[in-house]
Amino acid sequence: MEDVPSSSDPGTAFYVYYYGMFFVIACINIPGNILVIVTVIKSPNLQKPCNFCIVSLAFTDLLIGFIYPVYNVSHLETLPEISRPLGQWNVCRFLVSEVIALDICSSYHLVAITVTRYIAIVNPLRYHIYVTKRSTNFVIVMIWVLSQAVCVVVFTIYNPEEYIKKQDQVCQYELIFSTAHMCVFFFIQLILPLLIMIPMYARIAAIARTQAKAIAILQQISWHKRRACCCHVNRHELKSTFMVSILLVCYTVAWMPFMTYSFYRIKCVHNCDISPFIR
């Protein structure tokens, strides 16, 4: 992959904006995820298998809140005493591979939570058989092990010669990975989780509507009361379905700018002077 020339100093306004945004995100991410973890740990009534996944997800996002800003600090080319050490390949490959591993870990925690919700709705009588503390802890451990295995593979096997030969290189994934590598990462990290979650949520929504109709029919009450009950249940199910849809849409939309920029930046060979504000 041909190296893209470094852009000129974007100015003080850019750095205030760029690192100001990371500061704001960190101020939300770190205390927010700590609050989730502490709340579940200190509340015995919340210590349920599904919430174990939520705690593990919060811990994953907490680590991202620490590591990802460090990775972005390495882009501060105007301060070579910071960017050069972080741009060394041994340091950079740890940062990049760990960011990828934690992103994958976060995505598959969402998949695990989706599976528990699917079992609770589709097969509620067997929920306590399938979703136990032991099975949940096993799934959580496997998610962490497999996501970190991806990190180990990237860290130990992948060695981009062009990047390693360059001096004073900035640690950016678009300068390290090819289009093929990014396609594999995006499939594992984004496409595959969506392919698993969307059909499950579609099935959940269908069953929820069916159950709402069954409840309305079985109610031994007057027609008017039955109609009010049915409307109430339908409104509740529609609201739940709507919230689930919002989660899936947000998950997808939040990744689209990153995917679009990554592929454009990697494929671009000439006239690639992209505004640092866009990045």
**Regions of the chain where pLDDT drops below 50:** 1-7, 232-234, 237
- Domain 1-176 grouped into CATH 1.20.1070.10: yes
pLDDT of 143 reads 95
Q: How many CB atoms lie within 10 A of CB 138?
A: 11
Return the pLDDT at 233.
43
The proportion of the chain whose per-residue pLDDT surpasses 90, expressed as a percent, equals 16
Domain boundaries, the chain: 1-176, 178-269
State the pLDDT at residue 66: 86
User: What pLDDT sits at residue 6?
Assistant: 44
Give me the pLDDT at residue 57, please.
Answer: 92
